[in-house]
Amino acid sequence: MSDAVHSPRTIPDRLDNPLRSAVLSWEALLVIVAVAIFVINSFASPYFLNAWSLSDLTFNFTEKALIALAMALLIITGEIDLSVAAIIALASTLMGMAVQAGIDTPGLVAIGILVGLGCGAFNGAMVTGLGLPSIVVTIGTMSLFRGISYIILGDQAYKGYPADFAFFGQGYVWWVVSFELVLFLVAALIYGFLLHRTSFGRRIFAIGNNPVATQFSGVRVGRIKFILFCLTGLMAGIASVLITSRLGSTRPSIAQGYELEVITMVVLGGVSILGGAGSIPGVVLAAFIMGLVTFGLGLLNVPGIVMSIFIGLLLIVVIALPIVWNRFRMQR
C-alpha cells in the first residue's frame, strides 16, 4: 500500500497547469517583446502614435507575413522554400507582360496567383517526385525564377497598371484598416485552424517529428509535402499581386531579400528550424514584431543596409534562443 501511495503518478507535474504553461510559452514572451517594442517606438518618434502611421506599419510586413503562414507549415514538416522572393519577381514580371498585352485587373490577379501556384508545384514535384533536398532545389529555382525576370526585363520596368488594380496593395477596407491587413488576418485564421484543429495539421506535426514512422502509419507524406509547397507558392503569388499593386510597377529586383525576412518571421514565431514544432499564433506575433522593428527604425531614418544586418543577426539569435528557452522550461 505504501508503494502505491508514493507512486510517481500521484505527484502532479507543474507544467500541466494550463495557466502556468501559457505564461511560460514562447507566444507569451513574444507578446511581452511586442509591447516593449511598441512602447519604445512611441517614445523614440513623435510620429509613431498616429492612426495613419500605424496603418502604414502594416504594409511593412503583411506581404511577407502571408508567405510566412504557409512557410511555417512547410518548415514544420522539415522542408524549406528559399525561392519565394524569386516567385514574386517572376509572377510580377508576367503580370507586367500581361498589362502590355491589355489584360485587365481580374486577369492580372489570376496570372499572379497561378504563376505562384505553378512555381510552388514545380518545387514540390522536384522534392517529392525526385527526392531532392528542398534547400538545394529552392536555391536553384531562386536563381532560375529571378533570372527569367532579369532576362525579360533587363534594367527596364513595367508600368501602366489599371487604376482599380491599385486597391489590392493600397486600398482600405475601413478607415485606416488596409485590405492587406484584413487579408492577412483572415489567412492567419484559416492557417491556424488548418494546423491546430484538423487531422491534416496533426499529420504535418507527425511528419516533422518522424517522417519515416508517419509514412509507415499510412500517411502519404509525399502528397502532404507537395500540397505545402503548392500553398507556399500560392501565398507568394498572392504577395506578388499585393506588392506589385502597392508599388505600381514591376522590376526584376522586386522583393529582393524577402525570403530571409519570411524565414526570420517563422523561426522567431517559435517554429523549429528542424521541424516538428511551431504555431500560427507565434508566427503572427513575430510578423507584428518584425513590422514594429523595421517601421520604428525607418522612422528614425536608419539606412536599409543596417536593417538588413539587423535581420540577419536576428535570424541567428532566434535560431539559438528557442533552444535556450526550452532548456530553461525543462529545468523549471
Contact 241, 113 (CB under 8 A): yes
DSSP state of 151: H
pLDDT score recorded for residue 178: 94
With respect to residue 324, please indicate whether it lies within any of the assigned structural domains: yes
Domain count of the fold of the chain: 1
Distance between alpha carbon 276 and the CA centroid of its chain, in Å? 17
For residue 227, give the nearest of 117, 65, 96, 317 by alpha carbon: 117
With respect to residue 220, please indicate whether it lies within any of the assigned structural domains: yes
pLDDT above 80 for 4: no
| Residue range 310-327, pLDDT digits in tens | 878 877 877 777 677 677
pLDDT score recorded for residue 24: 60
pLDDT score recorded for residue 17: 58
With respect to residue 11, please indicate whether it lies within any of the assigned structural domains: no
Contact residues for 87 (Cβ-Cβ < 8 A; gap 6+): 115, 116, 119, 120, 145, 233, 236, 237, 240
With respect to residue 14, please indicate whether it lies within any of the assigned structural domains: no
With respect to residue 23, please indicate whether it lies within any of the assigned structural domains: no
More confident residue, 294 or 283: 283
- Per-residue pLDDT band at 20 (split at 50, 70, 90): low
Contact 145, 87 (CB under 8 A): yes
With respect to residue 218, please indicate whether it lies within any of the assigned structural domains: yes
Give just the sign of the alpha carbon dihedral 104, 106, 108, 110.
negative
Contact 170, 245 (CB under 8 A): yes
With respect to residue 97, please indicate whether it lies within any of the assigned structural domains: yes
More confident residue, 318 or 129: 129
pLDDT score recorded for residue 242: 96
With respect to residue 166, please indicate whether it lies within any of the assigned structural domains: yes
The DSSP-derived string for 15-48 is GG-HHHHHHTSHHHHHHHHHHHHHHHHHHH-TTS
Look over the chain and give the mean of its residue pLDDT values, rounded to a whole number: 88
For residue 65, give the nearest of 197, 173, 185 by alpha carbon: 185
Range of the domain at 75: 28-35+47-331
What's the whole-model pTM score?
0.89
Phi and psi at 177, nearest 5°, equal: -85, 110
| Residue range 68-126, pLDDT digits in tens | 999 999 999 999 999 999 999 999 999 999 999 989 999 999 999 999 999 999 999 99
CATH number at residue 182: 1.10.3470
Contact residues for 186 (Cβ-Cβ < 8 A; gap 6+): none
Average pLDDT over residues 30-35: 90
pLDDT score recorded for residue 93: 96
Q: Percent of the chain scored above 90 by pLDDT? A: 62
